[in-house]
Amino acid sequence: MREIVFDTETTGLDPVNGDRVVEIGCVELVNRVTTGAIFHAYFNPQRDMPAGAEAVHGLSIGFLESKPLFAETAGELLDFLGEAPLVAHNAGFDFGFLNAELARAGLTPVCTSRMVDTIALARRRHPGAKLSLDALCTRYGIDRSHRVRHGALLDAELLAQVYVELTGGRQIGLELATARVETDAAASGPVTRVAGRAGGEFREPRPHAASPDELERHRAFLEKIKSPLWTG
């Protein structure tokens, strides 16, 4: 089953009152294993950046003003999302902003029936516990030492690990279907990368049939067994 874990960074808390998405990061899972495929983009919000928001994610208007508008890359984003369930932490927030941007671009909003909220999953599994992404990473032993500030792709990568643990778990760091994806924070447009299968030299299968000498020794051994079960 294909699922997309995603996160957004914004200019504030309310898309209805003019706050905009400035970054989105998406990570693909297939059967709860990361595949190495990502979508990552920054956007020019065409408005100011409140100091409080910039303190959270570190994205200034000076950095963002050269980035594309959301509408210019919305098609690529929707192609990456496909029809997969969309996993987010406090998903109502991210869905609200995503759909507000799609509406501004004249595109159909994403149906909320596709929404998977990891806060709701964590609340059911760990009632009364802290439910922040940092707290869940600590609970599950997920390394977040490189998370100095919020970043959409970094948070999506961490959340993908948390989501796997919340839904059954697997050994952290066991990368069955993924290669590490490096991202360029200064990319001028969206980035979609798929890690390829590691190359390797083909090896012929080793012979495994018994040799005539081995067959003869096996026959001689069987003759020494008195009243074997397979002849009773």
Active site (catalytic) residues = 150
DSSP β-bridge partners for residue 6: 26
CA-wise closest residue to 25 among 151, 149, 197, 166: 151
Kind plus residue range of the DSSP H or E element containing 216: helix 212-223
Residue 202 buriedness (CB in 10 A; 0-12 / 13-18 / 19+):
exposed
| Site of tokens 């030492």 | 145
Q: Please check whether residue 94 is in contact with residue 6, taking contact to mean a CB–CB distance below 8 angstroms.
A: yes
Hunting for tokens 């869905």 — which residue is that?
95
**Residues whose CB is less than 8 angstroms from the CB of residue 27 and which lie 6 or more positions away in sequence, other chains included:** 4, 5, 6, 34, 37, 38, 153, 156, 157, 159, 160
